[in-house]
Amino acid sequence: MVVEYDGTGFAGWARQPGLRTVQGTLEDALAMLRGGRPVDLTVAGRTDRGVHAWGQVASYAGAPVGLKNLNAVLPDDVAVLACEAAPDGFDARRDATSRTYCYRICTRRVAPVFEHRRALHWPYRCDPATLRRCAEILMGTHDFTAFTPTETDHVHFRRTVVRAEWHARGDILEFWISADAFLRHMNRVLVGTMLEVAENRRSLADFAQLLEGAPRRAAGVTAPPHGLHLAAVAYGGPLLSRDG
C-alpha cells in the first residue's frame, strides 16, 4: 500500500493504546473490510507525531482490498493511493532500498495561513547558497551519531545519503534527502543544524565535522515535526511515489 497522510491529527505512525495513530486507523479500516480479521502492518518509515507522508509504504500478509472501499472508510486526513499484491514474502520495511524525505520551510515575514502545520515558519536570516553547501557536504556515507537522540535503539550510526538538495520556490525552501535508511529524528536535527549554519551561527567546517561521529550535544536543535514529509520509498527500482 502507498499511503498519504496529514500528520497534524495523529500521534505518529505507530499504534499506541488510546491514541489516534495512522497505523491504528489503517489497521482498523483494513480489519473492517476483511470481515474482522486483524491486520498487522509493516511500514517503510515510522513517522513521529506531526510528521506528514506523501508516499509512505506499508505491507501486510493477506490479499489486497479494493481501493475505493478502503478510502471510503478512512477519514479525510489519510488516503491510500495504491493497494496491490506484492511478491511473496515482501516486507515494506526490510525490502526498502531508500527513503526520500522533504522538509519544508516558509521564510516570509508573516506566518503563512496555507502552509500552517505543513512548513516551518522561519522569518530569519537564511542564505540558500549556504544551505546548498551543507547539502553537498551531506552526500555520501557518514556517521550520524550527532543527529539522533542519545537514548536510542540504533546500533549502527552510519548511513549513506544518495541525494541532498535545497530548492527555493518563492518563499518556500525545501530540503530533499534520500538515504538507505534514517536514524530517529535525523532529518529534523540535520535541518535544525543547517539553519544554524545558514544564520552564520555555525561554520560549514563545523557542520562537516559533525558527520564524523560527534556526540549529540555537538549538533543543533531538533527542528519541529510539522515541516517534515516522508515523500517516497524505493525498492531497488524507481521511486514508488511523488518526488520533487
Catalytic residues: 48
| 165 phi and psi angles, rounded to 5 deg | -145, 145
Q: 79, 139, 162, 208: which one contacts a second copy (CB under 8 A)?
A: 79
CA 45 to chain centre: 7
Contacts of 64 (CB under 8 A, 6+ apart): 83, 84, 85
In terms of Cβ atoms closer than 10 Å to its own Cβ (0-12, 13-18, 19+), residue 45 is buried
Question: Closest distance between a second copy and the C-beta of residue 8, in Å?
Answer: 10
Write down the least CB distance from residue 5 to a second copy, Å.
6
- Our finding on whether 57 is near a second copy (CB under 8 A) is no
| Closest CB 196 distance from a second copy, rounded Å | 24
Site for a second copy in 3-42 (CB under 8 A): 4-6
Cβ contact 7:46 at 8 Å: no
Comparison of 131 and 233: residue with beta carbon closer to a second copy = 233
**CB of residue 126 vs a second copy: minimum separation in angstroms?**
19
> Assign residue 180 a region: left if phi > 0, alpha if psi is -120 to 50, beta otherwise?
alpha
| Binding-site member from 14, 71, 157, 199 for a second copy (CB under 8 A) | 71
C-alpha distances out from residue 189 to 33, 96, 121, 219, 232, Å: 39, 23, 16, 7, 20
Out of 65, 80, 105, 137, which residue is the one contacting a second copy (CB under 8 A)? 80
Residue 146: DSSP 8-state: G
If the CB atoms of residues 134 and 230 are measured against a second copy, the closer one turns out to be: 230
Binding residues for a second copy restricted to 112-131, rule: CB under 8 A? 112-114, 116, 118
Binding site for a second copy (CB under 8 A): 4-6, 52, 54, 67, 71, 76-81, 109-114, 116, 118
